[in-house]
Structure 1
C-alpha cells in the first residue's frame, strides 16, 4: 500500500493509457466541453498563487545566466529536437512536430524547482529560470515553431493568434494568481500539497486526452514506433543535460548549487503548454503529435530524479570536506 501511495502518479499513467484505448470516445467528451482547458487555466492560476518570486529580483542581475538559459531552452534545444526528428523519423511528420513542440515549450514550473531543491541546488536561481523562461517562452514559441516547422513545410501557423491564445491561457491566469497571492496564499499554504496533486492530475488528463485522440493511429503504427520515440526522447534529454551541464561549468562557470539549478531546470520542458499548442493547431492533422512530449515528460521525471540525487550527494560531500577544512583536523578525521 505504501509503494502504491508513493508511486500513484505512475500507476495513474498506466490507467490513463488503458482507459484511453478502452474508451477513446470519452476523450471526445473532454474536448467537446473543454474540461481540460478549464483545468489548465486553474493549474496556471494556482501556479501564480504558489510561486514565490521574492528572490527573483536578486538573480535578475546575473545577465550571463539569463542569456545562457534563454539561448539553451529556446534556441539550442529546439534545434537539437529538429535535427533528431528529421534524422530518426523522416517518414513520420507527427513525431517530428511533436519533438519540436516539446522542445520549444517553456521550462517546467514546479518540477524543475522541486528537483533543484532535492539536489541542494540554488532554488532562487531555479525560480528565476522558471519565471524568465515561461514569460519569454510564451512570447517566442509561435515564432520558434513557425521557424522549425516552416523549414519542414508541415503546416502554416497563425503566429499572432497563437501568441494571443497562449497569453490568455498561460500568462493571464499566472499573473492573476500572482496579484492575489498576498491575500489568498496564506490561507492555502497549509494545503499546498494538494496543489502539486492537482497539477499531476492535469498531466494525467493530458495523457488520457492525447492517447484517446491518437489510439487508432498508435495501434496502426505498432509498438516499434512508440519504442523508437521513447528511445529518442531518452537520448535527446541525455544530450541536453550534458550540454547544459557543460554550459554551466565550462562557459558561465557557476558554482555547484547554481550548476544543479541550471542543468536540471533548463533541461526540463512543460507538457501543459505543449498540449495547448498541439490541441489548438495540430491535433486533427497530426494526432500522434503529443506522443513525443508525453514521452519526454516521463523521461525527464525519471532521469532527473537520479540526476538530482547525484547533485545532492556531491553537495553533501563538498559540505563535509568544507567542515573538515574549517576545523583544521582534516588529516586526523580522514
Structure 2
C-alpha cells in the first residue's frame, strides 16, 4: 500500500517532523539558533543546485521557449487565478490566515528535484524539465513577493514592501545558486563522487525547515486554531485544485501540438509547487505572522502531489515500455 501511494521515507519523515514539533517544539533561544542553522543549510542547498545544473542543459532548455512559456503561464497565471477565484468558497471554510497560506501556495514556483525526477521516470524531456523547473524557481524569487504584495497584503492592513523581501530571498536563494554555477567546474566532479548528495541535502533541509516552522506554530497555538474538520476541508480543497491543474497541464500541451516527451515535462513542471523554496520564502514574506498556518496548505498539497505524480509517472513509464 505504501508503494502504491508513493509514500517513501521522505514523505513519512515529513509527518514525523510535524509530530515531533507538536510534542517537542524548539523554542526560545534554541529556536533562534535553529533558525540560523536552517538558513545556512538552505543557502548550501541552493549552492549545490547551482553546481549541479549544467550550462548545456540551460542552453538546450532555453531554446525551447514555447514549452517554458506554457509552464510559466500555468505556474504564475493559472494557479493564482484559480486561487483568487476560489476565495468566496475557500476563505469561509478555512479562515483568513489559512486562505492566505492557500493563496501563497498558488503564487509559488514549481519544484525542481521532483519535477525532474518524475519527468525522467515517465521518459519525458528531462533537459526541458531541468531548465523549466530551475527557471521557475529563479523567476519565482521575484514574482512571488510581488503577487503576495498585490493580492494578500494589498488587501489587508499590513504595510508591506516587496522590495526588501525580494532582496532577502535573493541573498538566501539566488546568490548561492549563482555561486554554485560559477564554481561548477570545481564542485560538480566532487558531487559526482557522492551520488544523491543534492537530493539528500534537499530532503534534510526541508525536514529542518518544516520542524522549525511547525515548532513556532505549535508554540503559538496552531492546533488550538485548526480543527480536524478544517484540516479535512483543506485536504479536499488542495485535492480539487491539484485535479484541475493536472487536467489543464495534461491537455494544454496537447492543444499546443507538443510531442509526448514535452507533454510530460509540462505536466510535471506545471502541476507542482515547491516546498523547498516555499517555506524559506514564507519565513521572509510573512515575518510576524502565524507561519504554521501559512505553510500548512503547501505541506498538504506537496504530499498529495508527490503521491499522485508518483503513481502517474510509473504508469506512463510502463505504457512507454509496452509500446
What TM-score do the two structures reach when normalised by structure 1? 0.87
Aligned to 1:265: 269
**Which structure's relative contact order is higher, taking Cα pairs within 8 Å and 6+ residues apart?**
2
Q: CA deviation at 1:228?
A: 1.5
- C-alpha displacement at 1:41, in angstroms? 0.7
Partner Cα separation in structure 1 for residue 225 and residue 156 of structure 2: 25
Name the CA distance, whole Å, in 2 between partners of 1:276 and 1:46. Answer: 17
Contact 1:21 1:212 in 2 (8 A): yes
Check the 8 A contact 2:61/2:130 in 1, yes or no: no
1:8-87 map, 5 Å: 8-26=9-27, 29-33=30-34, 34-87=36-89
1:70/1:205 Cα in 2 relative to 1: closer, same or farther (>3 Å)?
A: same
2:285 corresponds to: 281
SS at match of 1:166: helix
**SS of match in other structure, 2:193:** helix
Give yes or no for contact 2:118–2:309 (8 Å, CA) kept in 1: yes
Runs of at least 5 residues in structure 2 that lack an aligned partner in the other structure: none
Consecutive unaligned residues in structure 1, runs of 5 or more: 321-334
For residues 283 and 100 of structure 2, what CA distance do their matches in structure 1 show? 13
**Which of the numbers 300, 306, 310 marks the counterpart of 2:311?**
306
Partner residue, 2:300 = 295
| Shift in Å, 1:195 | 2.2
Distance of 2:136 and 2:83 partners within structure 1:
18
Larger deviation, residues 51-60 vs 107-116: 51-60
- More helix as a share of residues: 1
Q: Which residue of 2 aligns with 1:201?
A: 204
Deviation at 1:189, TM superposition (A): 0.9
From 238, 241, 259, the equivalent of 1:236 is 241
Q: Does 1:253 align with 2:234?
A: no
Secondary structure at 2:198 match in 1: helix
CA distance in 2, matches of 1:283, 1:217: 16
CA contact (8 A) 2:44 2:176 kept: yes
Question: RMSD of aligned C-alpha atoms?
Answer: 2.2
Residue 86 of structure 1: how far off its partner (Å): 4.4
Kept after mapping to 2: 8 A contact 1:260/1:311: no
Q: SS at the partner of 2:86?
A: helix
| Aligned-residue offset at 1:119 | 0.6
Equivalent residues of 1:86, 1:96 under 8 A apart: no
Give secondary structure in 1 for the equivalent of 2:152.
helix
Report the count of equivalent residues: 314
Closer/same/farther in 2, CA of residues 12 and 66 from structure 1, 3 Å limit: closer
SS at match of 1:268: coil
Structure whose alpha-carbon radius of gyration is higher: 1
Query: Using the alignment, how far apart are the partners of 1:295 and 1:177 within structure 2?
Result: 31
TM-score, normalised to structure 2, is 0.90
